[in-house]
Amino acid sequence: MNTLSFIIYLLITWFITVHVGLIFYRNGKIYIQNLLHGDEKFTLFINRLLLVGYYLLNLGYVTMTIRFGKPLYSWAEVITSICTRTGKIMCILAVIHFCNMAALLLISHYHQQHATNKN
C-alpha cells in the first residue's frame, strides 16, 4: 500500500506544482514587469529564476518526504497520508508564493531608490 500511496502522492503533487508554477509564471510576468517599471530583460530573468527555484524546492521537498512515510495497512491510512502530505505541500507553496511576492516588492523598492538617486 505504501508504494501505491507514494505514486498517487507524487502524481498529485507533481500536477499541482507544475500547474501552479505555470500559472504563476504566466500571470506573474505582468506583475513583475510592473514592479520593475517595464524592464523586460530583468523581468524575464526574475520570472524564470523564480519558476526554476519553485520547481526545484517543491519537487525536492516532495521526494524527500516519501522517505519519512510510515507503513500503511488500510485504504483509510492511504487516503489520510496522501491528504496530509498534499495539504502540507500546498501550504508550503502558499508560503513560497508570499515570500516571492515580498522579495519582488523589495526589489521594486530597491529599483525605485536607485532611480531616484540617479536623478
Query: How far apart, in whole angstroms, are the C-alpha atoms of residue 88 and residue 28?
Result: 23
Q: Collect all residues with Cβ–Cβ distance below 8 Å to 81 and sequence separation of at least 6.
A: 5, 9, 69, 72
- DSSP string spanning 29-63? HHHHHHHTTT-HHHHHHHHHHHHHHHHHHHHHHHH
103-116 pLDDT, tens digit per residue, is 878 877 887 787 77
Residue 119's pLDDT is what? 62
13-37 pLDDT, tens digit per residue, is 999 989 988 998 998 888 888 877 7
**Residue 94 DSSP label:** H
With pLDDT > 90 as the criterion, what percentage of the chain qualifies? 24
Residue 110 one-letter amino acid:
Y
Question: What does the pLDDT average to over 35-49?
Answer: 86
User: In the predicted model, what is the mean pLDDT of the chain?
Assistant: 86
Q: Which of 38-42, 66-70, 77-81 has the lowest mean pLDDT?
A: 66-70
Which pTM value belongs to this model?
Answer: 0.73
